[in-house]
Amino acid sequence: MNAGIRVPFPSRASRRGCLALALLVAPSRLGIARPHQSGEERSESSQIDSKYPHLNPDSTIGDLLRHPAFTGFAGRVLPWDDRAYNERTPLDAIGSLLPYHNHVDAASTVAALNRMIDDAGQGRTIFFDIYSDADKREQPKAQTGLFFFRGRPGAPFAVICPGGGFAYVGSVHEGFPYAAKISEAGFNAFMLKYRAGLGGAVATQDFAAAISFVSQNADRLGVGTASYSLWGSSAGARMAASIGSHGTAKFGHPELAKPSAVVIAYTAHSDLAADEPPTFVVIGEQDGISPPSAMQRRVSALRRAGTEVAYREYPGVGHGFGLGIGTSAEGWIDDAIRFWIRHQPR
């Protein structure tokens, strides 16, 4: 059943040629806004003046946990709640903390962490609580919050929800690297740390709370509320699809306009509503957790209901590939950003 596009994996030589060409092509030629350039904006070419040191792949989990940029919330950067980590583990091996994920690219993870370090070093707030102190005490919600990757002031926002089987939150693979890419395209990106180990309903309540928080604090955050998008991978994709279908009110928060696009990666979620937002779907051909056939059934049902869907299935790739660096899926996030742009009002 051909529900969309199966993307061939180019040869190594071809990939080198494509990379060389990509380095010569301006982001605007690809349909993606050039990264922000001044003031709150960052320069592509100049060295960021930050008071905090960068991490590197040889830095350790302990270095991350004690880094001054993450003081007060460093534990929420990592996947597992209340886990005693081996602090000598290098960031180059951070994929060992993510049992449901593959193709973890430490360079992308470290680059995204350093983006936050630079922002914090310049005095920008990079982490926001989405619940009050009273809420966090009465119902254990302390392990939640939003990490903010700024784009252009007033630009639309994206909220990103990583996966992890509702057991952990794979932010270092499917959260921060996505947010960095979306921010580089000029949009405001928020990455959600939700409650893990309590099931999908509780986690989705946190997702709805995060969307409401951004909407209610849009002026303070400097983001536009029209044309927002939801992004999720695996368990996070189930959550993004659920809110895209049913809205935030179903999950205990004020009703908002539906997102202009939902981007979902490798989930077997099947629930649908009558008025689904435009949906961008990615899956690996060899996914044994969320088989392509399940995604294809959802895509077909969405299209029968009149929803615009972009479907991408990548050969040689299994579950939990994140950005897909070094695989046939590499570059999918740029296609997803372009899809979102097409569905923003002109």
Q: Which of the four pLDDT bands, split at 50, 70 and 90, describes residue 4?
A: low
Residue percentage of the chain with pLDDT more than 70: 86
Please identify which residue in the block is written with the tokens 């395209």. 185
Q: What is the Cα–Cα distance from 327 to 308, expressed in whole angstroms?
A: 26
DSSP states along 309-346? EEEEEETT--S--TT-TTSTTTTHHHHHHHHHHHTS--
Tell whether 134 is covered by a domain. Answer: yes
AA identity, residue 150: R
Residue percentage of the chain with pLDDT more than 90: 75
Q: Is the pLDDT of residue 24 over 50?
A: no
Most confident of 3-12, 16-25, 115-124, 290-299: 115-124
Tell whether 258 is covered by a domain. Answer: yes
Tell whether 290 is covered by a domain. Answer: yes
Domain of 157, CATH number, reads 3.40.50.1820
Q: What is the Cα–Cα distance from 98 to 95, expressed in whole angstroms?
A: 5
Tell whether 112 is covered by a domain. Answer: no
Structural domain span for residue 235: 125-342
Please identify which residue in the block is written with the tokens 């009273």. 134
Tell whether 307 is covered by a domain. Answer: yes
What pLDDT does residue 31 have?
A: 41
How much is the mean pLDDT over the chain? 87
From 22-26, 164-168, 219-223, 340-344, the region with the lowest mean pLDDT: 22-26
Question: Which residues on adjacent β-strands are paired with residue 148?
Answer: 190
H/E element holding 280? strand 279-284
Q: What is the Cα–Cα distance from 183 to 82, expressed in whole angstroms?
A: 30
User: CA gyration radius for the chain?
Assistant: 19
What pLDDT does residue 49 have?
A: 66
Tell whether 216 is covered by a domain. Answer: yes
What pLDDT does residue 104 have?
A: 97
Tell me what the mean pLDDT of segment 71-88 comes to.
95
AA identity, residue 119: D
What pLDDT does residue 345 have?
A: 83
Tell whether 17 is covered by a domain. Answer: no
Question: Which residues on adjacent β-strands are paired with residue 264?
Answer: 232, 281
State the distance between the two ends of the chain, measured CA to CA, in whole angstroms: 35
Tell whether 49 is covered by a domain. Answer: no
Reported as a single tens digit per residue, the pLDDT across 238-288 is 999 999 999 898 888 878 899 999 999 999 888 888 889 999 999 999 999
Beta carbons of 105 and 178 less than 8 angstroms apart = no
What's the number of domains the chain is made of?
Answer: 1
